[in-house]
Amino acid sequence: MNDHEQNLVRVTIYGHEYTVRAVADPDYITEVAAYVDERMRETELNLDGPQSSTRISILAAMSITDELFTEKRKRSSSLDQIEGRAVALSNLVDEVLESSFKD
């Protein structure tokens, strides 16, 4: 199978069966679908009374998106810290090299 070959995978999300066509590994597609299903069921449990599957889907999508945005902010912050440390280390190395050449 080449990298551009699409897989057809049958998944069940919130009681509905879907056929997903994607380039991704079938196990990965199944894992993603299971995560979405789990989040939708968690969302439903946290709501008062019966809700439409559309409302549950939207609220679950917002929750998953919040997780994504939070992780992106964490990664960006970590990269900023790493960059700052790299610059500080580079400056320290430059200082040491300059002082060793002066001696």
92 is a domain residue: yes
What predicted TM-score, i.e. pTM, was given to this entire model?
0.73
**Does the pLDDT at position 2 exceed 70?**
no
pLDDT digits (tens, 9 = 90+) for 75-97: 999 999 999 999 999 999 988 88
Residue-number span of the structural domain to which 68 is assigned: 7-102
64 is a domain residue: yes
Distance CA 6, CA 82 (A): 38
2 is a domain residue: no
Helix spans in 1-103 (H): 26-45, 53-102
